[in-house]
Amino acid sequence: MRLAIFDLDNTLIAGDSDHGWGEFMVAQGMVDPVVYKRANDQFYADYERGEMDLQAYLNFSLEPLTRYTQEELSSLHQKFMQEVIAPIRLPQAEALLAKHRADGDYLLIITSTNGFITKPIAESLGVDDILATDAEIINDRYTGKMTGIPCFQDGKITRLHQWLETAADKGFDGDLTDCYFYSDSINDLPLMQEVPNPVAVDPDDALRQHAEQHGWPVISLRD
């Protein structure tokens, strides 16, 4: 069984779910509309440049989750899926997933965005599993802190190898031979260099340049 790995934001969907959740919270009156939006936009710009302070961003983005029960957050997320995620789904991305699925591949999303936001999206896309940055939950409430290794830059490699240690339990034999990884972001360069078949998908300028210099495939799922 071959492993097909996918980044999520701006790869399988035409936008960033993390930034989109921040904008959704602004629209719903969950956060200060001026202060939060300004910081959310700045963090996203830092991410696009490959310069984001992940810990500072997580402290910022996870804190609002502490104010709501799991039931309230679930209801909000359903609305988020309908209003924000549904319009940015990509038919060509879902066709790519379907092709790998038909080929018998194991489909894995690896994303730096926290699991609260991304796990329902991954489920809707029908992938086999997802690795995401994990938000800490104590007594059924989010604490505003992360737990474990963040799924970001080199952390994606670490998390993948941790996952591979238990992959047999998930129905995958742990073999990376002919493994694929699809991503749009220069932040994912470490993992792209780790796999036999890196594919740049609608890449940012830095990743496009690197892909072209190294003869990696460059594709679009938006054309």
Give the strand pairing for 197-201 and 106-114: unpaired
Could you say which DSSP state residue 63 is in?
G
- Alpha-helical regions (H) of the chain: 17-27, 35-48, 54-62, 70-80, 91-102, 115-125, 154-165, 189-192, 205-214
> What's the sign of the alpha-carbon dihedral 214, 210, 15, 222?
negative
Q: Is 188 a catalytic residue?
A: no
Q: Considering 7, 16, 105, 188, which one is annotated as catalytic?
A: 7
Residue type at position 155: G
Beta-ladder partners of 134: 147
DSSP of 85-143: IGGGB-HHHHHHHHHHHHTTPEEEEEEEEEHHHHHHHHHHHT-SEEEEEEEEEETTEEE
Annotation says 46 is catalytic: no
- Tell me which residue has tokens 């460059």: 218
Give the catalytic positions in this structure.
Answer: 7, 9
